[in-house]
Structure 1
Amino acid sequence: MEGKEEDVRLGANKFSERQPIGTSAQTSKDYKEPPPAPLFEPGELKSWSFYRAGIAEFVATFLFLYITVLTVMGVSSSKSKCTTVGVQGIAWAFGGMIFALVYCTAGISGGHINPAVTFGLFLARKLSLTRAIFYMVMQCLGAICGAGVVKGFEGHAKYELLGGGANSVNLGYTKRAGLGAEIVGTFVLVYTVFSTTDAKRNARDSHVPILAPLPIGFAVFLVHLATIPITGTGINPARSLGAAIIFNKDKAWDDMWIFWVGPFIGATLAAIYHQIVIRAIPFRARP
């Protein structure tokens, strides 16, 4: 028994707690902070990797809209909630596709698949303005094509009857409530993206295997559960724009500003919170 106690004491001394509960984060710099991306990087335009990343964003957003809008329309066409996947199924479709697509494209483009995510990362100087604009354009084009393929499969009449998977503020909610839901929902998503891709966190928690696409996809799933009843959940301007362009009815355009302004405000707040409050980058002493 004494031998076992000695082993426990030895192990406690040898493998001390790296960050005891209730203490602040480590102060020793055991990671390498990546340099901020330049605002303009003309050299990117001559690189194949730049265009390859844009194509990856296009294809990923195309597949994202194809699967998710089909799921939404499948639920809309059902006469009984018992015969369809329901709201939970829609949330799983969005979250699951983000998980799969981020996993597939993270090593090529970073796996943004969302102009709000791209905008938030641009504000944090994680990518150049050139790349950010290119990504947003490719994401929107991919979303339009994905929604267009869904319409081709469903047929014009059925597609319009089921609403085309377009976002709008639902009855019983004000536009202010819809805007607030989009801001908070996008904040959750972009903050999760920052946290799971943080260089310091990866170094500090390297002993804990973290698959970044998993918490990002799970965040999308949870936000959809909360906000589908309010706005149908946008938190992705490309997703809202693609469905609206193909559906092309007043209902889809009336609230479109909410699905752009809300996500961009949410992304901005997430970038400010993570960079200034969590990481305190502007207050860090320069070596």
Structure 2
Amino acid sequence: MANLKEALGANELTDKKSGLYRALVAEFLGTLLLNFFGCGSVITGNVVAISLAFGLAVASAIQGIGHVSGGHVNPAVTFGLMVIGKVPVIRGLLYVILQCIGAIAGSGILRALSAERMEHALGVVSLSPGVTPVQGFGIEFFLAFILVLVVCGACDAAKPDSKGIAPLVPRTGAGMNPARSFGSAVVMGLFDDHWLYWVGPILGGMAAGLIYAFVIGPAKESQESSNRAYTVAATDEKEV
């Protein structure tokens, strides 16, 4: 029973020292900034500019909130860490909810500040002509798979040489972030094939987390490190 309570993390709801509510605000702000700046770059139509905008937005958000919440800003990352027990279930589900709300807020602000002629390019994800929903699902699955696999490796607490690059792991705006896709879809009212932008990334993230934890195996940790309970990521140490 004690292990179940620890896995659920229900105690964090009343424990002020857990920092849960600060972390939820951080995830909200992180995804708000991601959708505002990342989706705002779509109007350029330049793939390089869009990729850089999303990458820099995520890197900036993680630098700003990583020490508070771990800087997930992506349900695929949250589910990937939650399935291997590195994030309590309740915290993880609340993260996803606040990520979605933040993404909606970011896209809403972007639309409010954009001219009507720009509304066709506010970051709504859609399948390219000729790509089937099943193919789209597979693409989203593997995009999130490699993303979460890189996150697990870069943020492994027993691998200190990667601390400096952890905020810069590749995170693009090409789907693979259900909250980012959801925010744009809600604000623009476009949900065509939207299920695949949730199911694909989340399953890909969970698969990557499980493979990293139980197949590849994380870096060898000291006894003190392996016995440590989950904590939010700090600037000098991120736990996966």
The code of the aligned residue for 2:105 comes to: C
Larger mean CA deviation between 264-273 and 235-244 belongs to 264-273
Tell me, yes or no, if the aligned pair for 1:57 and 1:109 is still in contact at 8 Å: yes
After TM superposition, the structure 1 stretch with the greater mean CA deviation from structure 2, 44-53 or 102-111, is: 44-53
- Cα gap change, 1:37 to 1:61, in 2 (>3 Å): farther
In 1, Cα distance between the equivalents of 2:31 and 2:164? Answer: 24
1:45 aligns with 2:45: no
Match of 1:71 among 41, 45, 60: 41
CA–CA separation in structure 2 for the residues paired with 1:47 and 1:109? 15
Which residue of structure 2 aligns with residue 117 of structure 1?
77
* Aligned-residue RMSD, C-alpha: 2.4
**Quick one: distance in 2 between partners of 1:151 and 1:210?**
35
160, 166, 169: which one aligns with 1:212: 166
Distance 1:234 1:154 in 2: 22
Check 1:158–1:194 CA distance in 2 against 1; reply closer, same or farther (3 A cut).
same
Aligned counterparts, 1:181-260, within 5 A: 181-202=139-160, 205=161, 210-214=164-168, 216=169, 219-221=170-172, 233-248=174-189, 252-260=190-198
TM-score after normalising by structure 1: 0.70
Is 2:207 aligned against 1:269?
yes
Quick one: structure 1 residues 209 and 109, their matched pair in 2 at CA, closer, same or farther if it must change by over 3 Å? closer
Q: CA deviation at 1:176?
A: 2.2
Distance change (3 Å), C-alpha of 1:69 and 1:275: same
**Residue number in structure 2 paired with 1:108:** 68
C-alpha deviations, 1:192-221, integer Å up to 9, x for none? 11001112222xx4xx7633112x1xx225
Listed one character per residue, the Cα deviations across residues 3-41 of structure 1 (whole Å, up to 9, x for unaligned) are xxxxxxxxxxxxxxxxxxxxxxxxxxxxxxxx9992222
Q: Deviation of residue 163 (structure 1)?
A: 4.2
Q: 2:81 & 2:151 partners in 1: Cα distance?
A: 9
- 1:40, 1:258 → 2: CA distance? 27
- Count matched residues: 217
Contact persistence 1:36–1:126 (CA under 8 A) = no
Pair 1:143–1:134, CA change in 2 (3 A): same
Q: C-alpha separation between the residues in 2 aligned to 1:57 and 1:103? A: 12
Structure 2: tracts of 5 or more residues without a match: 220-225, 228-240
TM-score (norm 2): 0.83
Tell me how far 1:47 sits from its aligned partner. Answer: 3.4
Who is 2:237 aligned against? none
* Contact 2:155–2:166 (8 Å) recurs in 1: yes
